[in-house]
Structure 1
Amino acid sequence: MLLEIAIVIGLTLINGLLAMSELAVVSARPARLKAAADRGSRGTEVAVRLAGEPGRFLSTVQIGITLVGVLSGAFSGATLGIRLSHVLQAQGLGQTLADGLGVGLVVVVITYLSLIVGELVPKQIALRNAEAMAARVAPAMLFISRVAAPLVWFLDVSGKLVLGLLGQRGEAGERVTEEEVRTIIAEAKSAGVLETAEHDMISGVMRFADRTARALMTPRREVEILDLSESMDAMRAQIRQCRRARLPARDGEADDIIGAVLVRDLIEAFAREEAPDLRAFVRPAPVVIDTAKALDVLKRLRESTLHMAIVFDEYGHFEGIVTSGDILESITGEFQDEDDTDEPAFVRRAEGSYLVAGWMPIDEAGDMLGLPVDKDPAYETMAGLVLSELNRLPETGEVFDYRGWRIEVIDLDGRRIDKLLVSRLPPSPS
């Protein structure tokens, strides 16, 4: 009887090993496995091979689990149950009752051990350190797959045939999505692996890649432009008061931007002579369309020594400029200038609402405030969201509801939406 109990316990442990192997290899991150394999870990190399052939691996595991289940059931019912029944009969119970209790008690105990020792505990161990466990169990699983190669091949082919009938042909889709990366970053911050500033910068990099030139640019109404058609005295006064390192230059018309000038060049020119030809100091600047991807804009800026790109729309209208500083601010956040009077993008108020600037990028509002935002909205800022929802210029004090939030227009600066009050609506009573 002791031998039979030992056999059942051994089968339960083997079942646990198989369950742990299955979950460890399936949930292990391929990037971590490949990195460990590159460092010369033999077990990890085998785990990479198993993960690359999920059909064969799962067939191997299922063969083992099925075989263990059959043997465990045979021993628990046919041997241990009968022996326990004899013990109960010796204690004075009737045969029918003793047989029922004997088999029932053995099944309950074996089922409990199978759930705890054979399933739950091994799977929790696998989840806690999937890559390490996958490296440890992979050689044994490879050995089993080779021993049972014909049956593994048959099950693998059968599984693929059924998948084909269900329309599931081809390889699995991408394993890592952008949302999963964001979740991992958030978990790293919660666990203390990433500092808050590091988390914000990584999130900024991911937002940057999804933006367009229009989201990055300084809009034309905020751009200081050197108009070469003005008088020499007016341009000299503008250069004397300018705090920018470079300025876009136009020649008369509002959309006739012909390039950019370095302010230091103009200062030196005015110091040498009374009326220099400022057109000679205009340098060509890269031109991008307002819908260009942020990464494409960054590439154009890297190729230019001017570190400024001129943004036009599809009709040839000047829309604004993008500088290397705009790129940096989109990742790290706004920098305060000496003459900068803008308030922060948002301020959380005591009652839980937010005072939000109209220029706040909509993707930042989604990340920082939890505001629901479409995947590829047709606007770039909170002001754009208001205009998109209302389809007109709002009035001061106008209020509307948006996907569980209430948005109130607090202040208008001419035709520009300057300040918004954003608050979460209370849950509707069920």
Structure 2
Amino acid sequence: MAQIQQLENLPFIEYGTLTVDPVNNQHVYFKLNDSKTYLIELSEEGYAERVTRSFPTNSPYKRFRQGVSDAFKISTCARLKHIYRRQNVRDFASFCDSSRLRSIAPKVTQSVKENYRLVQKTLAESPVNGFGFRHLKSEHSDYYIAEDPTQESYCVPKKPIKDSVSGRSKEVCALSKELVALKTREEKYNFVAKVYRNRQALVKKAEESPAVCKSQIVSPSMVICENGGKDLHESLLKSYRRLTPSVFKNVCEFVAQQHSNNIILGDIKSENCVKKGVGEQVRLIDLDDMRPLTAAPLSLDLGTETLLTDNLFTKLVEGEKQAYFNADNYALLLTMMECSSFSIRHELDPNFLRVRPQVSVCNSRNTSSFSNWINKNILEPYRPAVIEFIKNPSVHTLPKSIFELMDWDNCQVTY
């Protein structure tokens, strides 16, 4: 059972004080001995309109332990609002004393006790899913409570997001400054607990890199991710902007490290790259297709077809191992190019590139655009080899990792 505080250890209310904000007299603070402050927002007449509570932590799990008010509609905030909704709080605060406030405490304490009894009962009845979480539902949120007390727990609002960003298999269903919740679009894309357990150590090790956003699968249809910023496809490629290739340095180093350990990523694309502010490095999300090269069958996950070629695709289906490294490198190079070159971005536009090319997106008509980018961003000794690779990734192989081939100190955008 999740580690919820026992009733006898709860900091129940014994006293409190009302304080009118000296700057804004429509705000009154009500402090209780449970380490939290309640803000009462007043109407013009001085009656309570809204009560909110400040938490000493930003952890959703600890918030859940400290209140769970939303989950069961028994709220200290609601109780305080009920008490003060017909009372002029400003006038009351001016002459109230501690004895009057103590008379309120038993009512609030009873609500808190009922709240926690219901929490404990519901948790005890909720099964632990294959990912190690108990799922509790409320009117406004879904709670995913980790069975392991050392693991983070999560609260996901049910309010839908307008114009939600979606990919091939998942879509954003909740968003905050710290976290992004993604749910699968169809049942066929749901996560399988057995596969997750087999890959968990691999992914957690990868998430130690600064180039990767941390994530946690909490149910077959839900994954919670660190908010690493907007994905490049939405924020960059749909606008007339470019990024200097140097912002991919951490990502290129990460891919090189994984390849040296015979691990492939399988789904590198601009939609799976995110970035926050100016000067920040690009980071990767969605490592669902990441796996050791020895994993079988290899041909189940073939990456993003628009960043493949027919010839390379055929070799992937046949299970040729070198083709998987080439596919990662080809997709990474094209992603970097489309983010930093308008002309190459046009070549990769799905409205223009309607079918997967036979040999490469680089051909006799547009070679100059790719050559220009390579000449400005690749170290001189390796430029011919990179051009040959871009022209035919199913036949040619890069002499080194992209991280070692890039001229990081002199990266430039191209037209």
Same fold (TM over 0.5): no
TM score, norm. by length of structure 2: 0.24
Higher relative CO (Cα under 8 Å, sequence separation at least 6) belongs to 1
Higher alpha-carbon Rg = 1
